[in-house]
Structure 1
Amino acid sequence: MTPAKLAEAVLAAARELFAERGLDPAALPASTTVERPRNPEHGDYASTIAFQLAKKVGFQPRELAAGLAEHLGRTPGVKSVEIAAAGFLNIRLDTASAGELARVVVQAGWEYGHSDRLAGQRINLEFVSANPTGPVHIGGARWAALGDALARLLRASGAEVGTEYYVNDAGAQIDRFARSLHAAAQGRPAPADGYAGEYIVQIADGIKQEHPDGDEAVFRAEGVARMLAEIRSSLAGFGVPFDLFFRESDLHSRGALDTALARLREQGHVYQADGATWLRTTDFGDDKDRVLRKSDGEWTYFAADCAYYLDKRERGYDRLVMLLGADHHGYIGRMRAMAACFGDDPRRTLEILIGQLVHLVKDGEPLRMSKRAGTVVTIEDLVESIGVDAARYALARFSSDSPIDIDVDLWTRSTRDNPVYYVQYVAARTASVARNAADVGLTRGEAGDFRPELLGHEKEQDLLKALGDYPAIVAAAAELREPHRVARYLEDLSGTYHRFYDEPACRILPRGDEVIGDLHRARLWLNDATRTVIANGLDLMGVSAPERM
């Protein structure tokens, strides 16, 4: 029995009790959950439903819990229900019901852990969005790993997700980029406010070969195109595709800024002062009003932000999630105020996640720059140092608001203290067990021949409980926007599997001339269920589940 099925049984018991006692069914929740108690001696699962409902129906929690325990105790697969002091229900499953989870996982395969909890939500997820003026640096790599993992989680939870990279190809930074390229092509040093590095020289040389007499405008257009192509290639090599690369210049060319300004005027939040056009964002908590159009008629970056927000909303997205770097913390207030100026509730339509810095460390010292980029560590530097799998896992393993030091020595080590190696080793070990089982003629057999009641050893039960936790972990990681929860779960599951595998009493393969029996087959189901969950979880992180290591 899965935790979800047990939760349904708890709610069914509550419905029966309410009908029996004539209680108002409107007080019942649409759904409930069960949790693993901190102390395993208290049972397999715990429910707080009696405590939650007691006040609504005028009962003491223990009194209501007693009735619920009686009804729930009749549920097939429930071995016992005990009442804790405050009215909590501690539930134990019989061995067969607990072991049945192995079959559920294997038969569900790729779908195990997926749900429809976020069905009906259309989410726009914007991440990385680095200016097309240089290679993707290690901070952008963090957002690439986190953003792609979050997109996978949201989709696994039933949401419709569009991933998007906002290309800032208009404005002063692009002017500086063009001047830097043009100067490099002419053998001059970069402007004081320009960009430097080997990549500038390489791009400039490539443009000069095709356009020997090209002016700054040519270097601007060609430079952005080449840099964006390189960014696309870097992200693709990192396993991070985007549904859309959205160009800021398109907003300008099709009059989207004028459209946004007109909409904001209709809402009554635009005013003129000092020859400029302002948005009164202070009405919605911003620390100051924001200029949309300067007195010289030039649009501000904030005006483009407004147009981009409106464009996303008009494309049918009901929630916009943005992943931004640590230097964008002040961005949150103005963006929320802007959403409110459009008439939206920013608590419902806008979500901004701020990430902290990442450093690559070698021999205890931070690596501060790339030979090619000149000033930063790039995504290629990171991949070259520790590989794609380790890089993606390392970057998504921590909460986005935690600074990270990625130790090259640790993440390239083939030992258990390397987290990604530790988890991938279980993927490979479970695959190896399956191969070795086939070599000696051991197969799971037909599903109807599976005897889950044989999986009664403590280590087997621990592993089953851990596998049962996976769907709730995925759901929580998606709803809280925290992919690191999946990584930490996989590490815990790996430890639980190792303890099961290393337990002599839980040997999967027959010894010598030992006759293959139902217990061997049952344990093979459990082994293969573990392989399924490890592979599913690693896929949500964008990391491979190797069959051999």
Structure 2
Amino acid sequence: MTPSALADLVRSSAVKVLEARGLDHNVLPDAVTVERPRNPEHGDYATNVALQVAKKVGMKPRELAEALAEEIAGAEGVDTAEVAGPGFLNLRLAADAQGEIVRRVLSEGDAFGRGDALAGRKINLEFVSANPTGPIHLGGTRWAAVGDALGRVLAAQGADVTREYYFNDAGAQIDRFVNSLIASALGEPPPEDGYAGAYIDDIAAEVLRREPSALSLPEDERHELFRRVGVGLMFEEIKQSLHDFGTDFDVFFHEDSLHASGAVGDVVAELKESGSLYHADNAWWLRSTEQGDDKDRVVIKSDGAPAYIAGDIAYLRDKINRGFDLCIYMLGADHHGYIARLKAAAVAMGYDADVVEVLIGQMVNLVSGGKPVRMSKRAGTVVTMEDLVEAVGVDAARYELARYSVDSSLDIDLDLLRKHTNENPVFYVQYAHARLASLQRNAAELKIEMKPDADFSLLTHPREGDLIRTIGEFPSVLAKAAELREPHRVARYLESLASAYHKFYDVARVLPQGDEEPTDLTYARLALCEAARQVLANGLSLLGVSAPERM
């Protein structure tokens, strides 16, 4: 019995108890919370539902808890239901009921943990979206890991997710990039407001290799050629870096296309006509303060040129026209003001503000030897995705970036991530999986086949129960990670599961030794171990991290 199944049992039992007394069961929460108590002696699970609702129906919490305990105690799969304190209810499951979790994992395999809470939702998930003027820096690398994991988590709850990358290929930053390439090609220092680093020299050299006569062209034609070829090369490098990092996108959307197609002008004209923009100081303004912005934002400047937000509005319109009912933007720490602006844009176009959701990620720093790592070998001024991957590998980089809430800044200890010890979180989790895979290989060598129908009522050791209950938490962890857009919950859960397995392994021998024959307990423990391995593999897959069978 999984925690979610137990929660459903508690709620249905509470409905019966209240109805039997002529009381309103609608006071019950839609989802009753059951949690594992800190002290295992208190039971396998506990709930405070009686404390939550007793006052609302005119009962004493302990009185309601006692009635609920009597109702639940007779339920299939429940061993005991006891009241504690002012109205807590401690529950202990029967051993065979816990074993059903193992059977379910073995039956569902890769699908275990998945749900349908987001079935029917069409979600556009935009992340990374780094300016195409240089390699992806650490902030973008964090979004590559977290965004890809979030996309997997949302899809695992039934959502139709489109991963999208927005290329900011319009505006002054592209001109500065192109001017930097031309300066490099001419052997000159970069412009004062330009870009520097070995990558600029590399791209400029490649432009000349492809177009040997580029520097002899008239200035306008030369600029256009370096823009077309140079920006294209930067695009391809960014895409390749992301692919090598295990992050692929369904859509690469070009900002410039919104201007070239007239989409920006069209949506601005519509908003003027509908009165959603107002005119003041010779400019057109969006009422973004109505969504919590500190000031209204200019959409069309006094010189008639569109401000940057005009493209954002057209882009949001394009997403919604493509059928998305939720548009999630994953933006850097310096984009906090975009939350109100984008919601205001949605409202101005007649949509619900909740069609937009913005996640803000904080800064990432590298530390080695207790000191910050500041300079890239290639980019010169920033540390890049390639720098991090070169230092610790894709798996360690992705896992470390995904295991923290994006709300907090992050210092990555390169020395720790290089260690092949349990101090390194990704090694700790992957080693548990490899250890379990090795166990299955050893069983096969002994010609002991894993039995999904083993007698799981034999798994009565406290460490076995702890491992089973931890396995059973995976579906609810995954559902909560999707609901709160927090894939780091999956990583932290995997570490708990690895810990529960290692503790089990220390006290419970699985395979027979010498001339011993396998027993019913052997088969039960072997199936339990395979369930643990499967869930570790499922969780690592959601983070885009490999589940090695040998280490």
TM-score (norm 2): 0.95
Instruction: Decide whether the 8 Å contact of 1:267 with 1:343 is kept in 2.
Output: no
Tell me by how many angstroms 1:336 deviates. Answer: 3.1
Say whether residues 1:314 and 2:316 are aligned partners: no
Instruction: Decide whether the 8 Å contact of 2:149 with 2:542 is kept in 1.
Output: yes
Instruction: Decide whether the 8 Å contact of 1:120 with 1:159 is kept in 2.
Output: yes
Q: Quick one: percent identity of the two aligned structures?
A: 56
Match of 1:362 in 2: 368
Q: How does 1:511-526 map to 2 (within 5 A)?
A: 511-526=513-528
Tell me by how many angstroms 1:432 deviates. Answer: 0.3
Give, as a single letter, the amino acid of the residue that structure 1 aligns with 2:430. Q
Match of 2:349 in 1: 342
Tell me by how many angstroms 1:28 deviates. Answer: 4.9
Say whether residues 1:125 and 2:125 are aligned partners: yes
Tell me by how many angstroms 1:304 deviates. Answer: 0.7
Q: How does 1:108-123 map to 2 (within 5 A)?
A: 108-123=108-123
Tell me whether 211-220 or 62-71 shows the greater mean CA deviation.
62-71
Say whether residues 1:411 and 2:413 are aligned partners: no
Match of 1:71 in 2: 71
Match of 2:455 in 1: 451
Give, as a single letter, the amino acid of the residue that structure 2 aligns with 1:32. V
Say whether residues 1:324 and 2:331 are aligned partners: yes
Tell me by how many angstroms 1:396 deviates. Answer: 0.8
Give, as a single letter, the amino acid of the residue that structure 1 aligns with 2:533. R
Match of 2:47 in 1: 47
Say whether residues 1:439 and 2:441 are aligned partners: no
Give, as a single letter, the amino acid of the residue that structure 1 aligns with 2:114. H
Deviations 1:76-110 (A, max 9, x none): 11111112233232111112212332222121111
Deviations 1:494-536 (A, max 9, x none): 1111111011xx1001011111110000000111011011111
Match of 2:547 in 1: 545
Instruction: Decide whether the 8 Å contact of 1:153 with 1:474 is kept in 2.
Output: yes
Match of 1:480 in 2: 484
Match of 2:529 in 1: 527
Q: Distance in 2 between matches of 1:30 and 1:358?
A: 38
Secondary structure of the residue that 2:473 maps to in structure 1? helix
Tell me by how many angstroms 1:25 deviates. Answer: 5.0
Moved over 6 A (4+): none
Match of 1:247 in 2: 254
Q: Distance in 1 between matches of 2:446 and 2:378?
A: 54
Give, as a single letter, the amino acid of the residue that structure 1 aligns with 2:465. Q
Say whether residues 1:380 and 2:378 are aligned partners: no
Give, as a single letter, the amino acid of the residue that structure 1 aligns with 2:316. Y
Match of 1:237 in 2: 244
Q: Distance in 1 between matches of 2:289 and 2:416?
A: 48
Residue in structure 1 matching 2:402, options 393, 396, 401 = 396
Paired residues, number: 544
Tell me by how many angstroms 1:387 deviates. Answer: 0.2
Instruction: Decide whether the 8 Å contact of 2:14 with 2:25 is kept in 1.
Output: no
Match of 2:502 in 1: 498
Q: Distance in 2 between matches of 1:263 and 1:43?
A: 62
Q: Distance in 1 between matches of 2:144 and 2:160?
A: 19
Tell me by how many angstroms 1:294 deviates. Answer: 2.1
Q: Distance in 1 between matches of 2:196 and 2:277?
A: 40
Tell me by how many angstroms 1:40 deviates. Answer: 1.7
CA RMSD, 1 decimal: 1.8
Give, as a single letter, the amino acid of the residue that structure 2 aligns with 1:276. A
Tell me by how many angstroms 1:339 deviates. Answer: 2.9
Tell me by how many angstroms 1:266 deviates. Answer: 4.3
Tell me whether 189-198 or 166-175 shows the greater mean CA deviation.
189-198
Q: Distance in 2 between matches of 1:27 and 1:405?
A: 45
Tell me whether 141-150 or 177-186 shows the greater mean CA deviation.
177-186
Deviations 1:215-238 (A, max 9, x none): 101111111111111100000000
Tell me whether 539-548 or 269-278 shows the greater mean CA deviation.
269-278
Match of 2:185 in 1: 185
Match of 1:93 in 2: 93
Q: Distance in 1 between matches of 2:359 and 2:31?
A: 29
Q: How does 1:146-295 map to 2 (within 5 A)?
A: 146-214=146-214, 215-295=222-302
Instruction: Decide whether the 8 Å contact of 2:510 with 2:526 is kept in 1.
Output: yes
Compared with structure 1, are the counterparts of its residues 22 and 330 closer, same or farther at alpha carbon in structure 2 (3 Å cutoff)? closer
Q: Distance in 2 between matches of 1:264 and 1:39?
A: 60
Give, as a single letter, the amino acid of the residue that structure 2 aligns with 1:389. D
Instruction: Return 5+ residue gaps in structure 1 as ranges.
Output: none
Instruction: Decide whether the 8 Å contact of 1:199 with 1:372 is kept in 2.
Output: yes
Q: Distance in 2 between matches of 1:419 and 1:177?
A: 39
Secondary structure of the residue that 1:245 maps to in structure 2? strand
Give, as a single letter, the amino acid of the residue that structure 1 aligns with 2:487. P
